[in-house]
Structure 1
Amino acid sequence: MFDAIAYHDEGRSVTYKEMLENADRIGKRVEPRSLVLFVATNTGESLEGYLGFLRNRAVVMMAASSIDADSLEALLEAYKPEYVWCPDSFGYSSDSEKSYGRYRLCETGMTGEAKPHSDLALMLTTSGSTGSRKYVRLTYENIRANALSIVDYLGISPGDCAITTLPFSYSYGLSIINSHLLAGSSLVLTEKTMFDREFWDLVRARSVTTFGGVPYTYSMLKRLRFERMDLPSLRYVTQAGGRLGRDLHEHFARLCAEKNIDFIAMYGQTEATARIAYVPASRSVEKAGSVGIAIPGGELSIRDESGGEVEAPDTAGELVYRGPNVSMGYASSRIDVSRGDDFGGVLATGDLACRDEDGFYRIVGRMKRFLKIYGNRVNLDELESMLAVEGIVAACSGEDDALRVFVEDGDPKSIQSIVSEKTGLYKGAFDVRLIDALPRNDAGKIQYSSLEDLC
């Protein structure tokens, strides 16, 4: 295995032996149980830093490369990481730093008041690239258990080769990396997108067998006429990061079956490391619109408003997941990294679901105020708070991949740019609407149901 190719990156092909040697060289530069603010990209240096820090038992705190300066400063202040691992092009430096290829390891000079819990390995943001201070605390066992489960139900083998289509800092993108490395597969690391000809050239040149995508990815693939593409090495594709929609799910399930490609729709949350449920490829057409069954090692159930378990089929309630990949809980500052397990292996997802007579689950709504925008989870309350800091009073609503921002004054185009900057997401995902007055009740609280009447 050590002589096998671990990854390809800009013309380089690196073996597992070389990758681990590079990773350990980086990892040994940090103190065990220190906190590393990790600015992630889909590059070899990013991957080797990630592995090196984990192997030396430092805690990796992921941040997207699109994070804005204000959000970065807020994270540094809240968590006081001892190190920052970032690309040379990233706007951070320190008096003490060392270069590794296209990356730099910077000592911050900060000392956190709390040492990370002995089980804590990784921290992922709960809200995509919005720069929120709220993180999920994941253990070494969470990462291992989820990766093993994914390898099991996808049948990943050393002969597989996955190409990066999602950010490294995103739980779904990271789960693809973790599972394929665990299986001894190879990775094609690239910042190219599906709109770039070079991306598809890499797929063919490297005999890529798989890639993953969020609902937006598959909407774009339909526009790109995926059915006409000649991709002989492709064995399976996966989807997660939000509800795909029954019609699009069925379209790709049928199309992939015709092309002898497995199409596997999945469901997950960062709080469960990545994956919670999946629809087996053999039932993808039949169960279009479903999120499927629990992953190996996990268990799903539905509970009613009183906390009792719902046994009857086609009866909605909150979806609850149990499994070894459930995180320890949340953090919002340095003091929280020393906390133990708050969840106890049980995750109340906040999603409303029902179960059919075959035991397949379907999401029918949300209990919390967040949307998935191009696969990134955006907390509407947090976004409103960010805008308030900029002096903008706003109310946010919408549905996946279509977020609406209602404001009483200001220039909609300028506000759209601010929202894009704060979230790191494309401006076209946000519809900013100027209205006379935000609907409020007698207590001054915004009436979100009334906002939808304005659409």
Structure 2
Amino acid sequence: MKQAFWRAIDSHPPSSVAVITDGDSLSYAELLAHVVSWQEKLGKLSFRPVVALSMDNRLGAIACYLACLRLAYPVVLFNPSLGAQGKQHLLHRLDPNIWVEAEQIILRHDKVINTPAALAVVLTTSGSTGGGKYVALSYGNLDSNATAICEYLPIVSSDIALCTMPLSYSYGLSVLHTHLQMGAAIRLTDKTVMDKGFWSLLTDEAISSLSGVPSFYEMLLRLRFTRHALPALRYFTQAGGKLAENYVNALAEYADKTHKGFYVMYGQTEATARMAYLPCEKVAVKPKSIGQAIPGGKLSLMDPDGGEITTAHMEGELIYEGDNVMLGYCEDKTDFAALSASQRLATGDLAYRDEDGDFYICGRLKRIIKLFGERLNLDALEELFAQKGVNVKACGEDNLLVLACEPSNKAVAGVWLDEWVSCPPRGKVVIEVDAWPLLPNGKTDYSALLAQGKR
């Protein structure tokens, strides 16, 4: 019988490598010992505590996280870069019983917080700010999504996956989950693509898989990733936002030439991690597609009146159904008691399907602004520039469009913007940036660009 990944660590060969850091390598037996030690540290309390954990990419945090799952203690994962104000937001709103940071355990209070038995993990939707809603996930959500991902990704027990994304981010967390499920190894590192040691790590340590968001692959390609043979690398995955078509084509061509797999995936924290994937053999043919639903899931499209769209190439809101859909959102601890299982998620993404049933994201419902009465799809505008070979980021609010580009592209970007977007001059601003501001999960920080454009 299959065990959930937090229990599966007991059943993998004890000597198999589980976690590799910049200075050490731990077997599954050693990882289990660390987890058991954390279970003892957290203690057997007379009530079910809520634990807040600074989820950095280190062994201690991973062991504490797994201990919480095994003890059935709900755990709130937050990014280690969370500032003082963000921590105060979290403390005030969720009031966790236990606070764990830098491997130090603080028992804050012993008041009982009413939580459903299914509640396993709470993730923030706001990165390093501590604001926004929290996403509540169940043990079933975690288990079903890890199982589904393992069905379509070729993960084997001998794999070593390089983990560069924050483990407080659902995509990075899913990499950990799936490799623990299959008895494979995770290579943790603080090195970035800009570090010389990153490339030495790739070539010298037999890394078998990479995972990253668009900004990660954009940087890899600028640094001539495709010139490296990397014989140990079997496959790589991309999610966390739409990667420009020219980058997808470059990676697909590299994968084909070097006999590697390249998987384009789609997901949201609200669905634990993944909802759809595009098989390797389709990436070069359909570089703009997210493919079809993961095993056990279902995708459909809904029109503005709530009816289902079945016609090809007709846009609607993308709806996902599956066992990995969250229990719900939380604003504060009083929302925990009302959480309940739901298998349906309105994604907030606009999409269409082709004649083969493959889906394409064409924008966000919330990425639409009105410029003096005219609707403008910001994602569609970025795509227009991408088709011209110019990488831009578009953001804004009603009656203000901010277009960010690299300094060398500012002149031509301004010309095309005037051609494509007609509005009074005060309604559009072109700014130049040397590098995109990024959130802790590697996604573009549109709020920072908007603030820069409004100065």
CA distance in 1, matches of 2:194, 2:125: 27
Aligned counterpart, 1:268: 267
CA distance in 1, matches of 2:336, 2:49: 11
Is the contact between residue 41 and residue 191 of structure 1 (CA under 8 Å) also seen in structure 2?
no
Task: Give the direction of change, closer, same or farther, for the CA distance of 1:249–1:422 in structure 2 (3 Å limit).
Answer: closer
Q: What's the CA shift for 1:197?
A: 1.6
CA distance in 2, matches of 1:184, 1:434: 48
Q: What's the CA shift for 1:201?
A: 2.1
CA distance in 2, matches of 1:401, 1:50: 40
Aligned counterpart, 2:182: 183
Task: Give the direction of change, closer, same or farther, for the CA distance of 1:421–1:72 in structure 2 (3 Å limit).
Answer: farther
Query: 9, 17, 30: which one pairs with 1:18?
Result: 30
Aligned counterpart, 1:430: 449
Task: Give the direction of change, closer, same or farther, for the CA distance of 1:328–1:106 in structure 2 (3 Å limit).
Answer: same
CA distance in 1, matches of 2:99, 2:404: 33
Task: Give the direction of change, closer, same or farther, for the CA distance of 1:78–1:353 in structure 2 (3 Å limit).
Answer: same
Task: Give the direction of change, closer, same or farther, for the CA distance of 1:161–1:110 in structure 2 (3 Å limit).
Answer: same
Is the contact between residue 298 and residue 322 of structure 2 (CA under 8 Å) also seen in structure 1?
yes
Is the contact between residue 240 and residue 443 of structure 2 (CA under 8 Å) also seen in structure 1?
no
Aligned counterpart, 2:200: 201
Task: Give the direction of change, closer, same or farther, for the CA distance of 1:130–1:175 in structure 2 (3 Å limit).
Answer: same
- Describe the SS at the equivalent of 1:302: strand
Q: What's the CA shift for 1:40?
A: 1.4
CA distance in 1, matches of 2:134, 2:364: 20
TM-score after normalising by structure 2: 0.79
Is the contact between residue 75 and residue 133 of structure 1 (CA under 8 Å) also seen in structure 2?
no
Is the contact between residue 134 and residue 330 of structure 1 (CA under 8 Å) also seen in structure 2?
yes
Aligned counterpart, 1:109: 109
Residues 433-448 of structure 1 aligned to structure 2 (within 5 Å): 433=452
Task: Give the direction of change, closer, same or farther, for the CA distance of 1:276–1:398 in structure 2 (3 Å limit).
Answer: farther
Deviations 1:166-212 (A, max 9, x none): 00100000001101110110011111111112222223333110011
- Describe the SS at the equivalent of 1:218: helix
Task: Give the direction of change, closer, same or farther, for the CA distance of 1:248–1:424 in structure 2 (3 Å limit).
Answer: closer
Residues 211-360 of structure 1 aligned to structure 2 (within 5 Å): 211-341=210-340, 344-360=342-358
Residues 65-84 of structure 1 aligned to structure 2 (within 5 Å): 65-84=80-99
Q: What's the CA shift for 1:227?
A: 1.4
Q: What's the CA shift for 1:37?
A: 1.1
Q: What's the CA shift for 1:11?
A: 2.1
Aligned counterpart, 1:41: 56
Aligned counterpart, 1:129: 128
- Describe the SS at the equivalent of 1:29: helix
Q: What's the CA shift for 1:3?
A: 1.9
Task: Give the direction of change, closer, same or farther, for the CA distance of 1:420–1:183 in structure 2 (3 Å limit).
Answer: closer
Deviations 1:337-389 (A, max 9, x none): 222316x20000010100000111001111125999xxxxxxx99xx9xxxxx
Q: What's the CA shift for 1:401?
A: 10
Q: What's the CA shift for 1:434?
A: 6.2
Aligned counterpart, 2:73: 58
Deviations 1:214-250 (A, max 9, x none): 1111110111001122422100000000011222111
CA distance in 2, matches of 1:258, 1:214: 22
Task: Give the direction of change, closer, same or farther, for the CA distance of 1:59–1:357 in structure 2 (3 Å limit).
Answer: same
Is the contact between residue 129 and residue 423 of structure 1 (CA under 8 Å) also seen in structure 2?
no
Task: Give the direction of change, closer, same or farther, for the CA distance of 1:36–1:291 in structure 2 (3 Å limit).
Answer: same
Is the contact between residue 130 and residue 422 of structure 1 (CA under 8 Å) also seen in structure 2?
no
Deviations 1:386-407 (A, max 9, x none): xxxxxxxx998668999xxxxx
Task: Give the direction of change, closer, same or farther, for the CA distance of 1:274–1:205 in structure 2 (3 Å limit).
Answer: same
CA distance in 2, matches of 1:291, 1:395: 32
Task: Give the direction of change, closer, same or farther, for the CA distance of 1:423–1:131 in structure 2 (3 Å limit).
Answer: farther
Gaps of 5+ in 1: 88-102, 373-379, 385-393, 403-407, 414-418, 437-455
Is the contact between residue 227 and residue 255 of structure 1 (CA under 8 Å) also seen in structure 2?
yes
Question: How many correspondences in the alignment?
Answer: 387
